[in-house]
Amino acid sequence: MKPYFGLARYDGNEPLFNLVEMSIISTLAGEPFHLHAEGLRGTGKTTIMRASRELLPKIKRIAGCIYNCDPKAPICPIHRNMSPEEIAALGTEEIDMPFLEISHSAKVGTVAGSIDLAKITNADNPQAALLPGIIPQAHRGIIFVDEINRLADTSPEITDILLDVMGNKPGRLQIEEAGLPTVEITVQVSVWAASNPDEDPGPLEEVRRQLSDRFDMVVFMGRPTSEDMIVKMLEGSDRAKRVYLDPKAYEAKNEEFRKQIVEMAHSYRNTELPDFLRNFIARIYIKHNLESIRAIEAIQQGAVLYSTLKKHKQIMINDVIEMLPLALKHRVEGDTLLKIMHGLESRTSRDSILNIKDRRSAKPVKEREEAIFDGGARRLKDIGRQEIIATEKALNPKDA
Ligand SMILES: [Zn+2]
């Protein structure tokens, strides 16, 4: 597998790199941030998500707790009722932030939890005799689901579990086993998913709208479109092959970034969205009848995370605008999103209410507009004069 920092970045995949890093920061800060990457095969969405495991920082848990109980906030059936003194007596240990995958063949018992057959014979506390599944074991970490649209189509029970886990922050999980009392625990996991909306059974929002809405951000992964970019990618993979021989070079980079993540998580915890930006989001919500409260919560969380990741001195309106398409693409009709983005552009160019004088403010909107012109279409300004005349001649051969 290619190292994370050895992967080529280009316009079409940059947002996913950002979101992945933002989600790790948020997860470490104790607030899940759910991502869904959509795109055709070969756009590298799962590669980026899986490669980011290298960046995951350490977390501290109660020694030996497979639910990853935070010593300051224990959640598992064994530790949640203990006094701070009893917890302190157990000691702590550091582990890598968990990153676990739910596969399509997974059963409810594997995902949520099941009876621990080894312990059940001598357990005086039946709750303690549960074997936590993938989700509780990923507490304070990340769960990855590839082809989430297919999972939603074929495994309604697992989909229901995800709906619960992603319903609130933190989420909740019920572990049910015949003959044992139902155990409910809170879990903090960020769910990352990938899918190809062009493949069976289609886009997630059409398969299971509710689950689609649970994702804070959805990013559509484009293919690199310029020759330059492909050339750069080829160069990158050449060089990466050589650096493979020296993984230390990448490990130093990862280590440096892990340190930064810890700092950024700390700063994220202490940063609030300024009131005027909150009003700005509220205005968009009312004006365009957005309906989904999750959408605007995601915009708020995303803007703070984005600003933290980009080390902006203060959160700017651009940080909010950058998040709008990511938080809204799966929640509103395409023309509503266009209307919102166009509205922002005309507002920013008029320097109105929000008093934006910086020309750069309008840039992200412009860039996104460009991105809409895909499928080989070019804007008039990018076509040479001779070519336009030639095209017109081809269309109207009589005038020639
Ligand atoms: Zn525990």
Residue 77 CA to ligand 1 centre (angstroms): 7
Residue 166 CA to ligand 1 centre (angstroms): 21
308: Cβ–Cβ under 8 A, 6 or more apart, which residues? 22, 25, 264, 267, 268, 271
Residue 131 CA to ligand 1 centre (angstroms): 12
Q: Which of 2, 136, 138, 158 is CA-nearest to residue 59? A: 138
Residue 70 CA to ligand 1 centre (angstroms): 8
Q: Helix count (H) and strand count (E) of the chain?
A: 18, 11
Residue 353 has a pLDDT of 43
Residue 165 CA to ligand 1 centre (angstroms): 18
Residue 363 CA to ligand 1 centre (angstroms): 48
Residue 67 CA to ligand 1 centre (angstroms): 5
Residue 234 has a pLDDT of 76
Residue 61 CA to ligand 1 centre (angstroms): 8
Residue 81 CA to ligand 1 centre (angstroms): 10
CB 35 within 8 A of CB 219: yes
Residue 104 CA to ligand 1 centre (angstroms): 28
**235: number of Cβ within 10 Å:** 11
Tokens at 82, concatenated: 């203990």
> For residue 203, which phi and psi values (nearest 5 degrees)?
-60, 145
Residue 269 CA to ligand 1 centre (angstroms): 24
Residue 71 CA to ligand 1 centre (angstroms): 8
Rounded CA gap, 90 and 168, in Å? Answer: 30
Residue 69 CA to ligand 1 centre (angstroms): 4
Residue 72 CA to ligand 1 centre (angstroms): 11
Residue 98 CA to ligand 1 centre (angstroms): 15
Residue 137, amino acid: Q
Judged on CB neighbours under 10 Å (0-12, 13-18, 19+), 323 is buried
Assess if CATH 3.90.1010.10 describes domain 4-57+97-240: no
Rounded CA gap, 281 and 4, in Å? Answer: 33
Residue 2 has a pLDDT of 80
Residue 78 CA to ligand 1 centre (angstroms): 6
**81: number of Cβ within 10 Å:** 8
Rounded to the nearest angstrom, the gap between the alpha carbon of residue 359 and the centroid of all alpha carbons in its chain is 29
Mode of pairing for the β-strands spanning 189-195 and 141-146: parallel
Residue 68 CA to ligand 1 centre (angstroms): 6
CB 102 within 8 A of CB 143: yes
Residue 178 CA to ligand 1 centre (angstroms): 23
Residue 186 CA to ligand 1 centre (angstroms): 12
Which residues make beta-bridge pairs with 185? 173
Q: What is the pLDDT along the chain (400 residues), one digit of tens a residue?
A: 788 988 888 888 999 999 999 999 999 999 999 999 999 888 889 999 999 999 999 999 999 999 999 999 999 988 999 999 999 999 999 999 999 999 988 999 999 998 776 666 655 666 567 889 999 999 999 999 999 999 999 999 999 999 999 999 999 999 887 777 888 999 999 999 999 999 999 999 999 999 999 999 999 987 777 787 777 777 766 665 655 556 778 889 999 999 999 999 999 999 999 999 999 999 999 999 998 999 999 999 999 999 999 999 999 999 999 999 999 999 998 899 999 999 887 655 444 444 444 434 444 444 444 433 333 344 444 444 444 444 444 444 444 3
Residue 79 CA to ligand 1 centre (angstroms): 5
Task: Supply the DSSP string of 69-104, one letter for each residue.
Answer: -BTTB--STTTTTS-HHHHHHH-EEEEEPPEEE--T
For 92-130, the pLDDT digits (tens) are: 999 999 999 999 889 999 999 987 766 666 556 665 678
Residue 24 CB-half CA count within 13 A: 29
Mode of pairing for the β-strands spanning 130-132 and 113-115: antiparallel
Which residues make beta-bridge pairs with 191? 143
Rounded CA gap, 151 and 47, in Å? Answer: 19
Residue 73 CA to ligand 1 centre (angstroms): 9
For 281-314, the pLDDT digits (tens) are: 999 999 999 989 999 999 999 999 999 999 999 9
Residue 100 CA to ligand 1 centre (angstroms): 18
CB 217 within 8 A of CB 298: yes
Tokens at 353, concatenated: 């209410």
Rounded CA gap, 208 and 195, in Å? Answer: 13
Locate CATH 3.40.50.300 in the chain.
Answer: 4-57+97-240
Residue 66 CA to ligand 1 centre (angstroms): 7
CB 64 within 8 A of CB 108: no
